[in-house]
Amino acid sequence: MNSSNGNGKLSGAVVAVAGAGGPAGRATLIRLAEAGATVIAADADPARLAEAVDAARYAHGGATVTGDTVDLLDLNATKEWAARTEKEFGSVDGVVHLVGGWRGSTSFTETDLADWDFLEKLLIRTVQHTSLAFHDGLLRSDRGRYVLVSQSGAHKPVANNAAYNAGKAAAEAWTLALADSFRKAGGEDGPGAAAAILVIKALVHDAMRAERPTAKFAGFTDVKELAEAITSVWERPAPEVNGQRLWLTPQP
């Protein structure tokens, strides 16, 4: 862990984490705090958010980790969160998008389009709002990064996951458009900020292993590995990661 001493690229960085209340969020908050970042966490669930923030603070006593209950489905509320964060902490150096959700079906024709309405909000609308709200702030940073976590089904959709796979594919396309905006803003010098996509098959964490001790979880990414991969996006130059899919599972 090359930046665990707080002297790496994340030392002093201000990073907003959307969807911070789940297991991946908890691992990410801890890892970012360990790397020396000031972490601004948001989640729709105040209780889960408070637990994740407390865990990160407990793991790294000197770290600044704060929690905000933000409705990321409200563009104005998301913009206010971005502006408030930059004003209070002086910069916004990163956004990690971990807002997720899953709905599936037994077959393609059994797909319930209500699932699409649900997933469109979680998987796409939250990406649209966070990227629009933080775009200018990330450009003002000397190390701005937007990190989306996606899933391999976006590249090889399957019959019973049509809504989920399509939602993830749309979120990736939106993030690549953000990357193109960063590229254009950088001009001849190349992008100063970067938008990158981390692609997984599925996530696993200690509680899942405890519940299913005989399960193999083949191809799954541990939430701690994901957190490490997220922090490593700052260790590479912006032009190297901007608009890139970084695969944490074999490409389909």
pLDDT, tens digit, 9 for 90 and up, residues 82-111: 999 999 999 999 999 999 999 999 999 999
Strand residues in 28-157 grouped as ranges (E): 38-42, 65-68, 94-97, 145-151
pLDDT, tens digit, 9 for 90 and up, residues 104-136: 999 999 999 999 999 999 999 999 999 999 999
Percentage of residues of the chain with pLDDT beyond 90: 86
pLDDT, tens digit, 9 for 90 and up, residues 46-72: 999 999 999 999 988 878 999 999 999
Give, in order, the Cα–Cα distances in Å from 13 to each of 38, 125, 206: 6, 26, 28
**Alpha carbon distance 252, 249 (integer Å):** 9
Q: How far is residue 139 CA from its own chain's centroid?
A: 18
pLDDT, tens digit, 9 for 90 and up, residues 163-216: 999 999 999 999 999 999 999 999 888 889 999 999 999 889 999 999 999 998
Helix H or strand E segment including 196: strand 194-200
Predicted local distance difference test score (pLDDT) of residue 187: 86
- Conformational region of residue 61, where left means phi above 0, alpha means psi within -120 to 50, and beta covers everything else: alpha
